[in-house]
């Protein structure tokens, strides 16, 4: 009778894990917004994105790698702020830019705030959408940051899926063992 109880418990746990896995891996909407935030240069307009499932150190290291792609300039870390100075990142602008980045670790995510300085002036999207060059730059910045955030989210979600699959595999092995025990018992 104890064996049947173990099987029922195993089924219940398996069902709960699968139900939890399905709900926890639903897609998150990743959106880049512009907000005023405090950084080393005072209050500035920054581009804010939340990276679900993010782990602070991993996101920071991957952001550094992303910023340093195809350039020789290194990212500096100054008082919890990452700074990439005087570079051209064609995906954003053909002008010389500097990027200041802050990270906020939350319970189940990491928030990245990036401040973009173009020609020594912090870029701020214009309310007047008739300025096509400013609109193009704003869109390019948002795309660059969003592409990074989506890639990070996919990486972290895949890691979670793999961990859940391992748990499920272990439960299936336990189930098979219990089935063999029942056969031997009968």
Q: How do residues 119-139 score in pLDDT, each as one tens digit?
A: 889 999 877 566 788 899 999
Q: In the predicted model, is pLDDT for residue 17 greater than 60?
A: no
CA distance 180 to 183: 5
Tally Cβ neighbours within 10 Å of residue 159: 13
Separation CA 73–CA 85 (nearest Å) = 8
Decide: helix, strand or coil at residue 24.
helix
pTM check: above 0.85: no
Is 30 in a helix, a strand, or coil? Answer: coil
**Chain mean pLDDT for the chain:** 85
Checking 61-68 for CB contacts under 8 A at 24+ apart, the result is 62/148, 62/152, 63/101, 63/103, 63/112, 63/148, 66/148, 67/99, 67/101
75 Cβ contact partners less than 8 Å away, ≥ 6 residues apart: 64, 67, 68, 82, 83, 84
Q: Write the pLDDT tens digit of every residue in 141-177.
A: 999 999 999 999 999 888 565 666 667 777 777 777 7
- Residue 81 has which token pair? 């702020």
pLDDT tens-place string over residues 74-113? 999 999 999 999 999 999 999 999 999 999 999 999 999 9
Instruction: Give the span between the Cα atoms of 114 and 77, in whole angstroms.
Output: 14
The answer, yes or no, to whether residue 22 has pLDDT greater than 50, is no
pLDDT above 90 (res 114):
yes
pLDDT for 23 beyond 60: no
Q: How many Å apart are CA 145 and CA 123, to the nearest integer?
A: 15
């Amino acid at each position: 009778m104890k064996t049947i109880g173990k099987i029922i418990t195993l089924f219940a746990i398996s069902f709960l894990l699968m139900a939890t896995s399905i709900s926890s891996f639903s897609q998150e909407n990743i959106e880049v917004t512009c907000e005023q935030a405090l950084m080393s240069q005072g209050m500035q307009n920054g581009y804010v994105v939340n990276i679900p499932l993010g782990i602070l150190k991993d996101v920071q290291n991957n952001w550094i790698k992303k910023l340093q792609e195809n350039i020789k300039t290194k990212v500096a870390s100054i008082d919890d702020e990452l700074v990439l100075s005087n570079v051209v990142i064609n995906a954003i602008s053909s002008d010389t830019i500097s990027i200041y980045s802050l990270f906020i670790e939350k319970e189940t995510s990491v928030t990245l705030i990036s401040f973009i300085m173009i020609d020594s002036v912090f870029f701020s999207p214009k309310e007047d959408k008739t300025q096509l060059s400013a609109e193009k730059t704003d869109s390019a910045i948002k795309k660059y940051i969003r592409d990074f955030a989506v890639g990070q989210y996919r990486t972290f979600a895949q890691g979670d899926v793999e961990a859940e699959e391992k748990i499920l595999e272990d439960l299936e092995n336990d189930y098979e063992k219990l089935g063999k025990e029942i056969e031997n018992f009968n």
